[in-house]
Amino acid sequence: MPQISKKGFDMPASPIRKLSAFAEKAKLEGKKVYHLNIGQPDIETPANVIAAIKNVDFKIWAYTSSEGTIAYRNKLVSYYNKFDYNLTVNDIIVTTGGSEAINIAMMACLDAGDEIIIPEPFYANYNGFAHQSNVVIVPVMSVIENDFGLPPVSDFKKLITTKTRAIFICNPNNPTGYLYSMQEMQDLKVLALKYDLFIFCDEAYREFCYDGKTFISPLNLPGLEENVVIIDTISKRYSACGARLGCLITKNKSVMASALKFAQTRLSAGMVEQIAGEAAVDTPDSYFTNVINEYTLRRKILVDSLNAIEGVICPNPGGAFYVVAQLPVDDAEKFCQWILEDFNYENQTVMMAPAAGFYSNHEAGKQQVRLAYVLNANDLTKAIECLKQALLVYPGKLIKTKKIRILA
């Protein structure tokens, strides 16, 4: 019998989806499952985006250019330059989702065995992208006691070797929701320039910042132009996860030329998706105002409700729509499976993502879960009540718990 590749065998499974079979079984048993495990918002996609798809008008569904249509890239330039990125169409390659942009960035900038330093916990699929590209993730620990803020510069310096080629951040962060400050971004700039490193920045959640806090991109920092590669996607911004439309941005011409060769190999991103993407850039500001207000409400419900449960610790995130919470359980993955398989409250239960999968050392997040506040306020309230009731009866509950101080 033919055997699969070692690469295929070693490819890490997604902690976000790995319990899906248990959720589907729960549904077949008639349970209502609240999905807090995945960043799939129930926010409606803007009407103008849907209208653009309905009104497509062409005779041939053709390839586009490998870097993306000039019409869509021009629209993207107008969008990004509102944030003072100062881009031209030659600084953008349109990709099949942000995922492909990450793959291309790694392949264009890194050789096999090269190292990327990433603050953890980090988006679990970065592990998979690194595995595909034969590069090595070197984690630097951020901690719940500090709201998952950027680790000290000294921690980064200890990890830099001759093989270190990049620092990779997600801002605002998935899975923690942490929003990096100007000082933290300046610290990264100093490291990148001193050690001649790339900064990869996943900006999928750029729009989602709360409490009047300001989003800072590495492209807003003068002197970093040659070091920065931005990863982006329309998935979260316009609640269009199924569109699979993203982009890679860099002002480094060598990186762009290299990235384009990989883009040419996969031919092009989708034509219809780019038509929808053009329309998306014209989405009125009122859409985002309403969305931010909605997520602010959901964040309050989730964070306040979690912290009101005995033994649960949950920082208040500055951005995105995720939290990483610590639960009073022996093993969060066992708990996440148990709550789907063996528990229901009024015939309802909750699906969460065990946070161990967002760490390189799975023991680090053994008692933590990632929850996405992507459901409406009513469903979110019911989901947290299920979680509260489950924690009361879970066989592996830790009786003695101690609250830790969470910084403001």
CATH for the stretch 6-44+286-393: 3.90.1150.10
Look up the pTM and report it: 0.94
Two tokens, residue 350: 């909750």
pLDDT score of 401? 46
Distances (CA, A) of 101 to 61, 98, 116, 307: 23, 5, 16, 37
CA atoms lying within 13 Å on the CB side of residue 16: 18
pLDDT score of 10? 86
Where the chain has pLDDT below 50, the residues are: 401-408
Range(s) within the chain of domains with CATH label 3.90.1150.10: 6-44+286-393
- 137 phi, psi to nearest 5 deg: -85, 125
pLDDT score of 18? 77
Range(s) within the chain of domains with CATH label 3.40.640.10: 47-281
Tens digit of pLDDT for each residue in 83-115?
999 999 999 999 999 999 999 999 999 999 999
Nearest to 109 by CA among 196, 205, 221: 196
pLDDT score of 13? 76
pLDDT score of 111? 97
Tens digit of pLDDT for each residue in 123-168?
999 999 999 999 999 999 999 999 999 999 999 999 999 999 999 9
pLDDT score of 400? 58
Q: Rounded to whole angstroms, how far apart are CA atoms 317 and 210?
A: 8
Q: How many CB atoms lie within 10 A of CB 181?
A: 15
Fold entry, domain 47-281? Aspartate Aminotransferase; domain 2 (3.40.640)
Q: How many CB atoms lie within 10 A of CB 158?
A: 10
